[in-house]
Amino acid sequence: MTALEEGQIQIHTENIFPIIKKAVYSDHEIFMRELVSNGVDAITKRRMASMSGECKEGLEEKIDISIDREKKTLTISDNGIGMTTEEIKKYINQVAFSSAEHFLEKYKQEDDQIIGHFGLGFYSCFMVANNVELITLSALEGQSAVKWSCDGSPKFSIDTASREEPGTDIILYLSEEDIEYLEPSRIKNLIRKYCDFMPIDIKLEGEVINKKESLWRKNPKDITDKEYIDFYNYLYPFQGDPLLWVHLKTDYPYNLQGILFFPKLTGRADWEKGDIKLFCNQVFVSDSIKEVVPKYLLPLRGVLDSPDIPLNVSRSALQSDRRVKSIGNFVSKKVADNLKNLKSENPKFYAEVWDSIAPFVKIGAMEDEKFAEQVSEIILFGTTAETKSDENSTDIDPIPFGEKYFTTIKGYLSRTADTSSKKVIYCTDEISQANTLNLWVSQGNEVIKADTVIDAQFIPWLESKNEDIKFQRVDSEIDDALKEEEGEGEDEITGKDGETKSERLRSLFKDALNNEKITVQVQALKDQKAPPALILLPEQMRRMNDIGALIEQRLPGLPEHHVLMLNRKHSLIEGVLKLQSGAVIVGTTGETSTDGLSKEIASHIYDMARLAVGGLEAEEITQFQIKASDLMSRLMERSH
């Protein structure tokens, strides 16, 4: 039978299809997204045309996918508006451009929405098919069915066909390397990935395989918490429930809808690519949206859907555009607004989730000045203070959560700052800094807890934004408020050369340690439970050490330059000073110089101070235990 018409697709190049495969659509599976999207578009157009009286309304809006293993064909059918012969020529044949290069350049820079350009998406089917047939019947009155055929070359044929109902069948004769698309499980996975939320039933051999409902397009007032949680678990199975969520919706100056979830971070957050899924008119586009969402929000999860995000011709990458930056600013502002409302309306729950949302907020504040302004009043720190006011109030600070309490810097300063200084005392590790932390707390001082990795950068950043506030770690120095006032006889002269107790102790420990990088200080501390010695790390020196460790990706460790502070009121310190005054000790093992023994004990006291702050290496701990046993044995001998 002779075809009614034959011709050549209007492209001024030998063969566009290799270019489409390699340069436009590099991922073969994309064909399913494009063909199903075209079918949904056709159904939508028929619905709109029927409302204006141009054609009859379809009985059941659906996309049918069928497999013929024997013929190795995959068919995607819709009951949409269909096409006339003239429309086939316009939308299929006239891929109008002067060359393949011009074609690519034109559509990469196209401002209008690419999705819906039937001819362009349609040609993705040649990535998986050697031959393609299109059988279509227009829903407009008086039209006949038409068949279009192409074998992957610029040549095509148009002929009469038979189709009872309006719509379009696209029949793909799959190539040998793409017969995987004859597997029902493969098709279901593709629909789930790309077309799950399209508002039309998508059927495979009669079974509906898409979820259909897109929760983000519903009014937030009509959605229950359970629906949000179920939707999250559907998108991210086996990840637990989300902490909270933000529903996005705006239609000016661009159209954007979506739901963003705060997950429970487990240390595996993706701060480079992200887990948020990007949709365009309910069609999945990408799960890498670092161009849209600020980097500090990338580990959030959920959905963003916008027809106004400019995509390249294959929808696989975002174009550089002012709208993209504007959308990113809108998203970050909505996140900040929701967090502010949460802290205001439900401070206890806000405190409960703070540890998980803190990385987003702190990194965001450091990277984005506008975001920093928006969240400045809702950044929390753990605190040693406890709530004294009405715990049922929404304006409570510190905020209780279990046995923990949280405060803002503003709240902290309102309780601690005087007119002359705005000093914030903080700790980063309650275990290694326990001695100095207890020293501050025992004297009625409130200490905040900056115990996350990001705080090493966040605290200096806070100081740079608030020049009148200074942060001081508990182990950086000892304030006068923690020391005994010097009284008569407290530091009397005891040495033959007119030395005071403090001077003798400094000399003893400096001789014993023989390390010019260690500064020895002597103080009388108020706290009766204060240890005999403390390691102090001057704030700026310790910060430099922390930054160096961060750059070198190692643990900070104990800096070489540090302070050994001796508590001269402690009985052990007094004892070692008295021991030094003796001449010799006579024991079962012979005579021992008391001066030598006092230096050994002084060295051991220093090691105890190092041990308390995690400053001993593994092999040093073994030597520390051996030395402790030896010293106790010799002291026991002396007692006899």
User: What one-character-per-residue DSSP string does 305-333 give?
Assistant: E-TTS-B-TTSSSBPP-HHHHHHHHHHHH
- Residue 466 CB coordination number (10 Å): 15
pLDDT > 70 fraction of the chain, expressed in percent and rounded: 84
DSSP line for 262-309? E----S---SSS-EEEEEETTEEEES--TTTS-GGGTT-EEEEE-TTS
Structure tokens at 200: 């039309």
Which pLDDT value is given to residue 556?
Answer: 75
Residue 631 pLDDT: 84
Round to whole Å and give the CA distance between 5 and 332. Answer: 56
Bridge partner list, 7: 156
pLDDT at position 420: 61
**Which whole number is the average pLDDT over 138-153?**
91
Instruction: Please answer whether residues 49 and 192 qualify as being in contact, where contact means their C-beta atoms are separated by less than 8 angstroms.
Output: no
The whole-chain average pLDDT of the chain stands at: 84
What are the pLDDT digits (tens) for 454-482?
898 899 999 999 988 999 999 998 888 88
> Residue 591: its pLDDT value, please?
46
User: What is the C-alpha to C-alpha distance for residues 563 and 547, in angstroms, rounded to an integer?
Assistant: 20
Tell me the range of 68-77, 320-329, 421-430 where mean pLDDT is highest.
Answer: 68-77
Q: What is the pLDDT of residue 628?
A: 85
Task: Give the rounded distance of the alpha carbon of 374 from its chain centre.
Answer: 19
pLDDT in tens, 543-569: 888 778 778 777 777 888 899 999 999
Residues shown for the chain = 640
Query: Would you say residue 158 has pLDDT above 50?
Result: yes
Residue 604 is predicted with a pLDDT of 93
Q: Over 80: is that where the pLDDT of 10 sits?
A: no
The model's pLDDT over 205-233, given as tens digits with 9 standing for 90+, comes to 999 999 999 999 999 999 999 999 999 99
Sheet of 256-262, strands arranged across: 244-250, 256-262, 301-305, 275-280, 283-286
Nearest in space to 562 (alpha carbons), one of 444, 425, 436: 436
CA distances from 318 to 105, 280, 288, 540 (A): 15, 12, 10, 44
- Distance from chain centroid for Cα 60: 43
Task: Output the six-digit token pair for 230.
Answer: 């179920």
Distances (CA, A) of 139 to 49, 51, 229: 9, 13, 42
Q: How far apart are CA 512 and CA 603, in angstroms?
A: 6
Q: CB–CB of 315/114 below 8 Å? A: yes
Look at 275 and 15; give whichever has higher pLDDT.
Answer: 275
What pLDDT does 624 receive? 87
Higher pLDDT, 101 or 359: 359
Domains parsed from the chain with CATH numbers: 5-208 (3.30.565.10), 215-334 (3.30.230.80), 482-639 (1.20.120.790)
CA–CA distances in Å: residue 320 to residues 269, 310, 323, 436, 615: 26, 8, 9, 52, 50
Name the pLDDT band for 122 (thresholds 50, 70, 90). Answer: confident
pLDDT at 565: 94
Which residue carries 């039937």 as its tokens?
118
Rounded distance, CA 285 to CA 292, Å?
Answer: 13
- What is the three-class DSSP state of 90? helix
- 108 three-class SS: helix
Which stretch of 197-211, 215-229, 495-509, 599-613 has the lowest confidence by average pLDDT? 495-509
Residue 450 confidence class, pLDDT cut points 50, 70, 90 = very high
- Report whether pLDDT(109) > 50: no
Question: How would DSSP label each residue in 520-581?
Answer: EEEE-BS-TT--SEEEE--HHHHHHHHHHHHHTTS-----SSEEEEEETTSHHHHHHHHHHH
- Of the pLDDT bands very low, low, confident and very high (cuts 50, 70, 90), residue 71 is very high
- Minimum mean pLDDT range among 147-161, 415-429, 433-447: 415-429
pLDDT of 489 higher than 70: no
Instruction: Please state the rounded mean pLDDT for residues 591-606.
Output: 81
Helices and strands counted in the chain (H then E): 18, 25
Please tell me which residue, 552 or 11, carries the higher pLDDT value: 552
Check pLDDT > 60 for residue 114.
Answer: no
Which one-letter amino acid corresponds to residue 332?
S
Instruction: Tell me which residue of 304, 305, 299 sits closest to 243, measured CA to CA.
Output: 299
pLDDT at 25: 58
Q: Quote the CA–CA distance of 579 and 560 in Å, as a whole number.
A: 29
Residue 406 contacts residue 354 (beta carbons within 8 Å): yes
> Encoding tokens for residue 554?
């190692």
The pLDDT, as a whole number, for residue 465 is 93
Confidence of residue 58 (pLDDT cuts 50, 70, 90): confident
Model confidence at 288: pLDDT above 50: yes
Asked whether the predicted pLDDT for residue 418 surpasses 90, the reply is no
Question: Residues of the chain with pLDDT > 90: what percent?
Answer: 52
Residue 278 makes CB contacts below 8 A (sequence gap 6+) with: 284, 285, 286, 287, 289, 292, 304, 305, 309
Quote the pLDDT of residue 632.
85
Mean pLDDT of 442-453: 92
CA geometry: angle at 258 spanning 255 and 263, to 5°? 150
Which residue blocks in 26-96 are alpha helix, DSSP H?
30-51, 85-88
